[in-house]
Amino acid sequence: MPDHNHALDAALAAANAHFESKRPKTKALHERAKQVMPGGNTRTVLFSSPFPIRIEKAEGFWLHDVDGHSYIDFVGEYSAGLYGHSHPRIAAAVAKAVSGGINMGAHHVGEVDFAETVTKRFGLDMVRFTNSGTEANMMALGAARCFTKRSKIMAMMGGYHGGTLYFGGGVSPVNAPFDFVLGRYNDIGTTRALIQTHCGDLAAVIVEPILGSGGCIPATIAFLAMLREVCSQLGIVLIFDEVMTSRLHPNGYSARIGIQPNMKTLGKYIGGGMSFGAFGGETKIMQQFDPARPGFLPHAGTFNNNTLTMTAGQVGLNEIYTPAVCDAHNAFGEALKMRLNDLFMRYQAKLQVTGVGTLLNIHPVLGDVARPEDLAAADLRVRRLLFLHLLDAGIYVAERGFMPLSLMITQPEANRLVVAVEEFLVKYGRVLT
């Protein structure tokens, strides 16, 4: 809990007032939005009190709001926007798809080409497409339950697998009504014991190799290796949610760490930033969806094979986010993380950056961060103050400090971020302690 740091309270109050005074159009638009959407919001993660920024136009790495302010976009559409805004090759691919028909209500060549690309790139025997990571995870869990003839699902406390699979504060009341068992991230002993206790009913263990919304916290190799070993021994389907982490290695994060799950789920950047998800893995599990087989599992979705996604995704993986580009981009992210952490150490600030490659998160907390509960000591006032300071400097990060870097972010933009963060430390250093 925050202490009674009155200087910090005063600094935050002033920053909030400054934020509101500079955005009269944004405030008015938020009042309109509240009349037709609960809280003026239709996507919880974007909300920020007293009101969020409202973007009018985006291009490259720039965001322009309705009050005329411009920001360098370090949010990267919460990892879905790997290619930035209207990347010229993606735009050309979308235009080509539109000219040839968006949704054909039939099989087409593009889906075959793209399926071959995805399976080869990410080490999958077979794949099926969806419209979001949420759908992909729901279908993967359904497949595991049918394959094993068991009912329970293990997720991790602090994990996030979509709007109906949220475990940030336990099991969300709007989650899908699976029978969940919650493991403890990076706690080998506790989680192994839980798996063994429930193994007779446990169909799947689903885990993010790096927690995304949970704070960019990497799982240890030992923890993931334990999951792989125990799941293999007990006939449990191990699912890696690589909606975010697949960007961290040319063949996905599982290839980077050398641990292969039974299934993987993938997300929107792979579809060129379009509405997209995918689930895939071993043939023996995926062939349950073969409509030519007796008793097959149905899997619907009008836009599963829409040509916008198939075409944009093919161009993105084959022409833009090549293996060489992937490696260089993640090395760039690691270098930025090191620069920021060095800066925090130099100023002896109670801040640190966690994450791997281009999935980064700034936290106002010291000490090792191995699981979400290690962030409980974070002072949310400092997080908010940094968010507002960066907005004023023309830089947009998620208020929780999340920074999934798009390909549009290069050294000049990284330099601007580092300078703005140092200005924050100079301006507020005395009130942060």
How many residues in the chain? 433
Residue in 185, 278, 201 with CA at minimum distance from that of residue 234: 201
Task: List per-block mean pLDDT (blocks of 10 residues) for the chain, which spans 433 residues.
Answer: 77 96 97 96 93 96 98 97 95 92 89 97 98 97 98 97 92 93 98 98 98 96 98 98 98 97 97 95 98 96 94 96 98 98 96 98 96 94 97 97 98 98 96 82
CA distance 332 to 409: 10
Rg, the chain, Cα only: 22
Q: Are 205 and 154 in contact (CB under 8 A)?
A: yes
- Write the secondary structure of 286-300 as one string of H (helix), E (strand) and C (coil): HHHHCCCCCCCCCCC
Question: In the β-sheet with 126-130, what is the strand arrangement from edge to edge?
Answer: 126-130, 277-281, 263-266, 237-241, 202-207, 152-156, 179-183
Q: Identify the pLDDT of residue 3.
A: 57
Q: Identify the pLDDT of residue 170.
A: 83
CA distance 83 to 90: 8
Residue ranges in 316-379 assigned as alpha helix (H): 323-346
Q: Identify the pLDDT of residue 83.
A: 97
Q: Which domains does the chain carry?
A: 6-82+326-432 (3.90.1150.10), 88-320 (3.40.640.10)
Q: Identify the pLDDT of residue 5.
A: 83
CA distance 252 to 254: 6
Q: Identify the pLDDT of residue 1.
A: 44
Burial (Cβ within 10 Å: 0-12, 13-18, ≥19) of residue 106: exposed
CA distance 81 to 407: 9
Cβ-Cβ contacts under 8 Å for 73 (sequence gap 6 or more): 58, 61, 62, 63, 81, 84, 85, 396, 406, 408, 409
